[in-house]
Amino acid sequence: MDQNQENLQKTEGVMPPQKKESLWDILRFAIIALLIVIPIRTFVAQPFIVSGTSMVPTFQDGEYLIVDEISYRVTEPARGDVIVFKYPNDTTKYYIKRIIGLPGETVDINEDGSVIIINDENLKGLELTEPYIKNVMTKQVAMTRELGAGEYFVMGDNRPASSDSRSWGILPEDHIVGKTFLRLFPFKDLSLTPGIYHEYESGI
């Protein structure tokens, strides 16, 4: 060690640890890290990387997200939430979509792609205004889906390029992992609760 390094250590009030102490510190740090990280990863938040273009322009391929896994333990999923869930036809795969229809509602999709929600407050149905959609379907197969208890209708923001409830059906609540909480990468797009809209001009 040169004189400058020795002086710096004295100034900072630190000394190189003994080898036995160093190994114990590393082990202790590893144990503490595991005790903190594993429960957080399992019950609180989990990282995911967006794969594909089904949520463009809200989310781009390769973006790094942190998903909040704890909020839905105390609140119900809401229309407009962007969620990560286990794909019902293969629970080893994870999808990211937006909640469109809620339990007990009827979702009507017209040929022009417009979405009508029928529920107790809107027996005649009200059309969703969806500001997050940029790529509009030129022609959509019209369909109606009635949702039971614990069932959700989800769709990608990039409607022409999304495999969602229109093709594979309803999403059971117990398949939901959590909602998007933080976009970490790319850094220029760093944001909290990215892509979540709760204010619909239709009033739903």
- List residues bridging with 185 in a β-sheet: 64
The label of the residue with tokens 């900072």 reads 12
Give the residue among 160, 184, 197, 163 at the shortest CA–CA distance from 85. 163
Q: Catalytic residues, which ones?
A: 54, 97
Before 47, cis peptide (omega within 30)?
no
Encoded tokens for 126: 């009200």
